[in-house]
Amino acid sequence: MPTLKIKRQADVLEPMTDAPFDVEEFLRQPLVARVATGKRIVRPVWFLWEDEAFWIFSGQWSRLADRLRSDSAFELVVDTCDIDTGRVLQVIARGHGSVVEFDVERARRKLVRYLGPDESRWDDRFKPPQGGAAKGVWWAKLIPHTLWISDQSFKPSIGGS
C-alpha cells in the first residue's frame, strides 16, 4: 500500500483528501502514540490531536519538557493493528515541539477521550489540576512538519474474518 506524505506549507498542513483513510477521525480515537525525542528515548503517551498539533501532558514527573527544551525535534507514531480483521493504519509525524502553558479545558477534552465524560469516575491521578494547582504541569505541543499516512491492511490468515 502506498504511503501518503503530507507537508506543512505556510504554517498549515496540506489537505489530506487523498489519504487512504479519514486521518482526522483516526486521530480522534483514544489510541496510544509513541513519541521519540532527539535522545532516542521512546515513550507511550496519550495525546490530543487539535489545531494540527499533538498535545501531550508533561510535568515534574516527566522529562519530556526538558528534552523538548534542549532539542525540539520529535517523531511520533499512532497506529493500530487488528490481526483478526487485518486492518493496519498508521500516522507517523515528524516535526518540532515546544512546552506551553497548561490549559485545563484542553486537558478535559483529552482525558474525556480516554476516560469517558463522567469525571467523578476518573482515577484521582487523572483529574486535571485547577487554578494554582496546575503549577508544575505543562503541555508538550508537537507540531508536525510532515505526516506519513499509510493503510497497511492485509488479508488475515488467523483469527476471525
pTM metric for this prediction: 0.83
55-74 average pLDDT score: 89
Q: β-strand 48-50 against 3-9: which pairing, if any?
A: unpaired
Do the domain assignments include residue 10? yes
Do the domain assignments include residue 156? no
Q: What pLDDT does 92 receive?
A: 96
- Report in angstroms the alpha-carbon separations of 149 from 19, 37, 82: 7, 20, 17
Do the domain assignments include residue 157? no
Do the domain assignments include residue 160? no
For the stretch 85-119, pLDDT in tens is 999 999 999 999 999 998 989 999 999 999 999 99
Do the domain assignments include residue 63? yes
Is it the case that residue 1 has pLDDT exceeding 90? no
Give the confidence band of 134 by pLDDT, cuts at 50, 70, 90.
Answer: low
Do the domain assignments include residue 86? yes
Query: Total structural domains in the chain?
Result: 1
Structural domain that includes position 22: 3-151
Do the domain assignments include residue 59? yes
Give the confidence band of 161 by pLDDT, cuts at 50, 70, 90.
Answer: low
Q: Hey, what amino acid is at 62?
A: S
For the stretch 15-60, pLDDT in tens is 998 999 999 999 999 999 999 887 678 889 999 999 999 999 888 8
Task: Indicate the range of 57-71, 74-88, 130-144 predicted with least confidence.
Answer: 130-144
Q: What is the CATH number of the domain that holds 118?
A: 2.30.110.10
Do the domain assignments include residue 159? no
- CB under 8 Å to 131, separation ≥6 — which residues? none
